[in-house]
Structure 1
Amino acid sequence: MGRLDGKVALITGGARGLGAEGAQAMAREGAKVLITDILDAVGEQTAQGIRDAGGQASYVHQDTTEESHWPAAIRAAVDTFGGLDILVNNAGIEIVKTLADTTMEDLQRISAINEHGVYMGIKYAVDPMTERGGGSIINLSSVAGMQGFLGLTAYCMSKGAVRLLTKAAAVELARMGTKIRVNSVHPGVIQTTMGQRLFERYVDYGLAEDYADAEAKFTERHSIGRLGRPEDVANLFVFLASDESSFITGEEHVIDGGLISD
């Protein structure tokens, strides 16, 4: 028996990176997975890869900032796989700029994706999850949602919002008797495309001599001695999605190799 047998998961931003790794891990544990993203070709390939490995997965286009896309994505999960038990609000962006260089357009864009998209995901998942007797919502935040970082003011703002949105939603949904749990995940620097871009932007702003220097500096800050791997975060997704975490809600789960503990 898989840890997620009989469960249906919707993962936003699931075409690549942490979303794709999470989708693959959940499928291996028996979940039926609907991947959504704006990267259609890559998303279709990820879903096909899961099917080729013996899992159940499908892909639909979704821009999480467009409210009309949310009911459509939820409906696709219900129509394709019979319901919704797990939502991973993974879609997000990172802006590496100083306070002075950050524009109003930057703020509006990062808020729309990192904050408003997560809010709408929670909102539209409530009814189908309640109909199934409960569920698990996992919101991807960051250690930057718990601590300030140079050059990441807008990103810190948005991920801090996700942290408190998670807590407020967890309390409300528990008190309303929905049996829906809501938790946030706070990774350190992970070896993904977003992590690579972080290093590149640090070089652009003169915060590191070159890419190797940026990578070395961030690696050193992780007490465990390495950067995170996508599978590290995917394993946490599986735990929070499973019944093993049935008494956990409204909590931030830091997975950072000791980055903010040192």
Structure 2
Amino acid sequence: MTSYDLTGRVALVTGGAQGLGAGMAEALAAAGASVAIADVQNQLGEETASALRAQGAKAEFVALDVTDDGQWATAVEKVVGALGGLDIVVNNAGIEVTNLIVDLDADSARKMLDVNVIGTALGIKHAFRAMRPEGPGGKGGAVVNIASVAATIAFPGIGVYSATKSAIDRLTRVAAMESGKLGYGVRVNCIYPALTPTAMGNKLAVDCAELGLFPSPEAAAGAVAEMTPLGRLGQVDDMADAVVFLSSDAAKFITGAGLPVDGGMGM
């Protein structure tokens, strides 16, 4: 039986300073990978990398605005130099701005498109360039994109966010096809996380209550749990475990797939 052992592999996690990204980085490190925390939050990112090192992992922080092509190139170069390669890229960085469509703010919508869609596309681009046979990694690898259950359900207040996460699903599938056809040796998959009580998830519940969609943040979270067959919200380790699986040899014949990690909510 193939294990989830990632010893000897190097992973880069965007938005890795906190929340889901930090949990994913910790799980990858626990599976044996060296991990680069990539984020715009420099101090918090350094602290997260330091905490991983204190647990015995090999970890570094790299500053990265995922919307900036040049910063991607620099970050990958630093990771390869510091950690000896690049085998796994987790495109986790994302933002959510809650708006009813009737009150849509164009600037906020563009920001979500820029971070969530362009940021993920650039992550795939630079993962391919590093991991393909002629790249500095050169051994192939795995890309895991973080979509959302919002890509599979109709939930009020998150229209543009849902659209960006649906776009990540399409990017994943096209990228997997290109990698296969061009012989890059890089598997590309995505997961659809459920609502998880991180800072972003908690803010969404508050925002929905403020928009009058639910009587309170607790009612918003409760409504999500009621829509979920397993009867609860997601937890960070639920999502992190799925990322480790898709990054490992246990998923060696899986590419172009979207894995729901949502307790059945999106079925």
- Indicate whether the TM-score tops 0.5: yes
Residue of structure 2 in register with 1:183 after alignment: 189
2:244 to 238, 256, 262: 238
For 2:127, give the aligned amino acid. Answer: A
For 1:172, give the aligned amino acid. Answer: E
Residue of structure 2 in register with 1:63 after alignment: 65
CA contact (8 A) 2:13 2:21 kept: yes
- Supply the distance in 2 between the matched residues of 1:2 and 1:138 (Cα, whole angstroms): 15
Residue of structure 1 in register with 2:167 after alignment: 161
1:90 to 81, 89, 92: 92
2:126 to 115, 119, 124: 124
Q: What is the CA-CA distance between 1:234 and the residue it aligns to?
A: 0.3
2:47 to 45, 48, 71: 45
What's the CA shift string for 1:91-115, capped at 9, x where partnerless? 0011211112112212210000000
Mean Cα deviation higher: 144-153 or 225-234: 144-153
CA contact (8 A) 2:4 2:248 kept: no
For 1:95, give the aligned amino acid. Answer: V
CA contact (8 A) 2:4 2:249 kept: no
Q: Hey, which bits of structure 1, 4+ residues long, moved more than 2 A?
A: none
1:139 to 137, 142, 145: 145
Partner SS for 1:254:
strand
- Supply the distance in 2 between the matched residues of 1:124 and 1:188 (Cα, whole angstroms): 27
Q: What is the CA-CA distance between 1:2 and the residue it aligns to?
A: 6.8
2:107 to 85, 105, 108: 105
Q: What is the CA-CA distance between 1:133 and the residue it aligns to?
A: 2.1
1:248 aligns with 2:254: yes
- Supply the distance in 2 between the matched residues of 1:207 and 1:37 (Cα, whole angstroms): 32
Q: Which runs of 5+ in 2 are unaligned?
A: none
Q: What is the CA-CA distance between 1:68 and the residue it aligns to?
A: 1.1
The 1:81/1:199 distance shift into structure 2, 3 A limit, reads same
- Supply the distance in 2 between the matched residues of 1:233 and 1:62 (Cα, whole angstroms): 22
The 1:2/1:156 distance shift into structure 2, 3 A limit, reads closer
Partner SS for 2:176:
helix
* TM-score of the aligned structures, taking structure 1 as reference length: 0.97
- Supply the distance in 2 between the matched residues of 1:212 and 1:51 (Cα, whole angstroms): 36
Q: Which runs of 5+ in 1 are unaligned?
A: none
2:265 to 243, 259, 262: 259
Q: What is the CA-CA distance between 1:143 and the residue it aligns to?
A: 1.2
CA contact (8 A) 2:62 2:79 kept: no
2:176 to 159, 170, 193: 170
Count of residues in Structure 1 that have an aligned counterpart in Structure 2:
261
1:227 to 205, 230, 233: 233
1:10 aligns with 2:36: no
CA contact (8 A) 2:46 2:61 kept: yes
Partner SS for 1:122:
helix
1:115 to 106, 114, 117: 117
Partner SS for 1:147:
coil
Mean Cα deviation higher: 142-151 or 88-97: 142-151
What's the CA shift string for 1:164-208, capped at 9, x where partnerless? 010000001111111100001101111211110111011110111
Percent identity over the alignment is: 39
> What value does the CA root-mean-square deviation take over the aligned residues?
1.1
